[in-house]
Structure 1
Amino acid sequence: MVHPDSETTASARPSRRTVVAVLGAVASGALLGVQRPAAASAAAPGLDDPAKKEIAMRLVSSAENSSLDWKAQYKYIEDIGDGRGYTAGIIGFCSGTGDMLDLVQLYADRKPGNVLARYLPALRDVDGTDSHQGLDPNFPKDWRKAAQDTVFQQCQNDERDRVYFDPAVSRGRSDGLHALGQFCYYDAIVMHGDGGDPTSFSSIRKRALRSARPPAQGGDETAYLNAFLDARVWAMKQEEAHSDTSRVDTEQRVFLRKGNLDLNTPLDWKVYGDPYHIG
């Protein structure tokens, strides 16, 4: 999971209601009784289109790092005090949640003897805790050194895609969602993961399905995404570190209200009150 950078504390700017949007509903046909067929998603580029994927990376970085320069985050590492140990890299790999261990193992497989390989035993020991045992004092320094290596950068890209991006796009496509809906799924998986707890991505989706159906099940896309974002906001508010919901309220809701289901540029949004633009 990704978290804010060191420029802002977790309490000041945590890393993580609903008005039915008339404008978005009209754009989607909801108020006219028109349902978008699930096949419509195939007519426009999905989130895995290179240009759309770049937009997705920049949107997440605006919320996590107050910057559109997501590639500058390979070197990011800190403990923000959320119980997950060290958080690092472009997607916030955490020493306490297992994804950092998987990443460093991949790096060791591809480049044996790298600067982080010696921390593998410690990362196994601290998995599931917030402990730094065996990592301090040099792990952050060595992470930043490794981040200069293009092999490690590619490992971060590949693990981001394997664990977060590809599953989100696949699930979004199967639900008949356009690029915006796929991004809503991706951002949720990044923050909440996809385990079995009540605030995981799968639990958020199940909560949304109680009140709306996705296009693949004959539902209206805008109505379903509003239900999904309602469920997402509920999940975020269950944890203090995620209780700022502006990445939903003044980002994803903005695009949805405008009926921008294909996530087309230009895009204007705010996170934590800061404005962003992609032309």
Structure 2
Amino acid sequence: MRTRSKVAAAGRTVAGAVLGLALLAVPSSAHAAPAGLDDPAKKEIAMQLVSSAENSSLDWKAQYGYIEDIGDGRGYTGGIIGFCSGTHDMVELVELYTQRKPGNGLAEYLPALREVDGSDSHEGLDPGFTDAWKEAAKDADFRKAQNDERDRVYFNPAVKRGKADGVGVLGQFAYYDAIVMHGDGDDATSFGSIRKKALAKAKTPAQGGDEKKYLGAFLDARVWAMKQEEAHSDTSRVDTAQRVFLNKGNMNLDPPLDWKVYGDPYHIG
């Protein structure tokens, strides 16, 4: 079940750069560095948690070939993190893949992807693009390109910002999930704006604040942002997932983990 949509292309394309530069303004902390979501075991949990919300499945590796237009105004949505033809990250993915493997089956669609970027248009993509995407997903090089772009644009910036704010694995995941859905930029529902709303209510651990209180404020702000758009109005990925872990004080996302998204139960042992 795909319900997530994306913010405007401008917000998505600058996400990594904005977050990277913003780290310079985050106060340093004398405390030991928090545990990282980038630990391989924790990263696998993060991928499963996101997939439960994005694809109603814990099998995130089965999503490389996923592609459809979910009617959210962002064109085609595809792959493990929901790259969109209307929000620039899909064209960047195909460009990377083509740079590494010229003449691949998606390369011929690059001119069309550049033309439809920023819109929901399929012009130049139909009818063959979705089949070409699914075929490309059989190629290890395309799967690696998806992994690399996920990390560059979304995962790595979220983990860096989370560590700089002094939050642990759960907080870093909350950041990652927010960036996946909202991107970053100047709009009111971007990750940066969500974080600013949280900071108006509580200090980060790096600022001397209480981690649980700060993450509660962040999740409150995230829910507000989700409710601003109909496609995001189901907030169960926060209310019956992240909030459950927070209320239990599981700041390290240690298994076993039990949560629900859209009313469906999930378990990681």
Q: Shift of residue 39 of structure 1?
A: 2.3
What is the letter of the counterpart of residue 39 of structure 1?
Answer: H
What is the letter of the counterpart of residue 88 of structure 1?
Answer: G
State how 1:34-183 maps to structure 2 within 5 Å: 39-42=31-34, 45-183=35-173
Higher RCO, Cα 8 Å, sep 6+: 1
Structure 1 runs of 4+ off > 2 angstroms?
Answer: 37-42
Distance in 2 (CA, whole Å) between partners of 1:114 and 1:196 is 35
What is the letter of the counterpart of residue 218 of structure 1?
Answer: G
Q: Shift of residue 93 of structure 1?
A: 0.1
| Structure label with greater radius of gyration | 1
Cα distance per residue 1:50-97 (max 9 Å; x no partner): 000000000000001010000000000000000000000000000000
SS in 2 for 1:224: helix
SS in 2 for 1:277: strand
Cα distance per residue 1:158-202 (max 9 Å; x no partner): 000000000000000000000000000000000001121110100
SS in 1 for 2:267: strand
CA root-mean-square deviation: 1.1
1:211 — aligned with what? 201
1:252 — aligned with what? 242
Cα distance per residue 1:206-228 (max 9 Å; x no partner): 11111111100010000000000
Distance in 1 (CA, whole Å) between partners of 2:71 and 2:79 is 17
Q: Shift of residue 38 of structure 1?
A: 6.8
Cα distance per residue 1:87-111 (max 9 Å; x no partner): 0000000000000000000000000
Q: TM-score, normalised by structure 1?
A: 0.86
- Structure 1: runs of 5+ lacking an equivalent: 6-13, 17-36
2:4 — aligned with what? 15
What is the letter of the counterpart of residue 156 of structure 1?
Answer: Q
Distance in 2 (CA, whole Å) between partners of 1:135 and 1:217 is 48
2:265 — aligned with what? 275
Distance in 1 (CA, whole Å) between partners of 2:163 and 2:56 is 29
1:164–1:189 CA contact under 8 A, matched in 2: yes
What is the letter of the counterpart of residue 227 of structure 1?
Answer: A
> Using a 3 Å threshold, how does the CA distance of structure 1 residues 223 and 38 change in structure 2: closer, same or farther?
farther
Q: Shift of residue 41 of structure 1?
A: 4.4
- Structure 2: runs of 5+ lacking an equivalent: 6-28
Distance in 2 (CA, whole Å) between partners of 1:125 and 1:275 is 41
What is the letter of the counterpart of residue 120 of structure 1?
Answer: L
Cα distance per residue 1:142-163 (max 9 Å; x no partner): 0000000000000000000000
1:38–1:218 CA contact under 8 A, matched in 2: no
1:41–1:177 CA contact under 8 A, matched in 2: no
2:176 — aligned with what? 186
State how 1:187-202 maps to structure 2 within 5 Å: 187-202=177-192
What is the letter of the counterpart of residue 211 of structure 1?
Answer: K
What is the letter of the counterpart of residue 15 of structure 1?
Answer: R
State how 1:206-245 maps to structure 2 within 5 Å: 206-245=196-235
